[in-house]
Amino acid sequence: MVDDPPPRPRRAVRLRPVGDGELRLHHRVVHGYRRAYRMAGEGPVLVLIHGIGDSSATWAELIPDLARTHTVIAPDLLGHGASDKPRADYSVAAYANGVRDLLASLDIESATLVGHSLGGGVAMQFAYQFPERTERLILVSAGGVGREVNPVLRAVSLPGAHLMLSTLRLPGMRFQVGMFARLMRLLDTDLGQDAPELLTLVDALPDVTSRSAFIRTLRAVVDWRGQAVTMLDRCYLTEGMPTMLLWGDRDSVVPVRHAYGAREAMPGSRLEIFEGAGHFPFHSDPARFLALVEEFTSTTRPAHWSREHWRELLRAGRPGSAAGQPDTVRNRAVERDLRQASERSAT
């Protein structure tokens, strides 16, 4: 194995103004489908990948600050936002391929990936499929780590979900959902921490095409038992890749205990917990989020991928596995999750 490179010195920050025109949606046709994205700034590339049912708009308030020191690209994943919503492959691997192809069409060779929720799973899958294109990983309340997920998402994965979601468009339902969300917030529940975002997701499903794309995406990663994909069995491959995990300690969608499991499974990763935040810590405390991203990207070196090192990691295998050296103290919790997730795969 090779040692991780020492942190690089903090670079001199050169701030540049970001015009309103840079924040508008752009469109590019890839494989015959129109894909929407936002692109702003100059410098090292940051790719912001949103979660299920969301869009690049979730990053809109952060992009101007990030774009002062970075080239920021925030796509609307296929089936989301202003991108096309075909009857297509909405698996995590397909999304990783789509991000790669969009970046290639924009002449971007490599980037730091920032992924939220489903986008975190896509970012991890991207790093697994295309390590030579991945400089760093910043995973925000990421999916693909443990089985647990909010019961509402498990319910929507069941047959009849189309009918369930279509009722949200009935007269008065938007008001009732809003009242429920506000009640959850008044009661100071974990679910209530994300009430505004939950209402935004409801509004993002205005027609049958949007609802169909949402359900197809959800069923690719969630079933009635919980999350159906995992990256825990190959997280050891991130050795040498700067990785930061950001999580809200009141996340009702992906529990914060998943953050600790991910840190154990990803050698050298860094974990930052946002106290009092739910599933959207970058909305709850944007100033801290921006500071952490800037500090992390300016003080770590981009991952250096080599075929030889990748081969060594694969041959050694996951710590605690048959091919690797046992490390029962470090991997006890991870091994338990892996046994529970034995039927799950993100490949």
**Is 116 in the active site?**
no
CB-based contact 28:35 (threshold 8 Å): yes
Q: Which of 279, 283, 284, 337 is catalytic?
A: 279
What pLDDT does residue 326 have? 46
Residue range 203-207: average pLDDT?
A: 68
Q: Which of 251, 258, 284, 337 is catalytic?
A: 251
Q: Which of 55, 91, 117, 284 is catalytic?
A: 117
Percent of the chain with pLDDT over 70: 73
CB-based contact 193:183 (threshold 8 Å): no
Q: What is the DSSP secondary structure assignment for residue 106, as one 8-state letter?
A: T
Average pLDDT, the chain: 81
The Cα–Cα gap between 314 and 187 comes to 49
**Is 54 in the active site?**
no
**Is 304 in the active site?**
no
Confidence band of 342 (pLDDT split at 50, 70, 90): very low
φ, ψ for residue 121, nearest 5 deg: -65, -40
Q: Which residue has the higher pLDDT, 79 or 225?
A: 79
What pLDDT does residue 139 have? 97
The Cα–Cα gap between 221 and 234 comes to 17
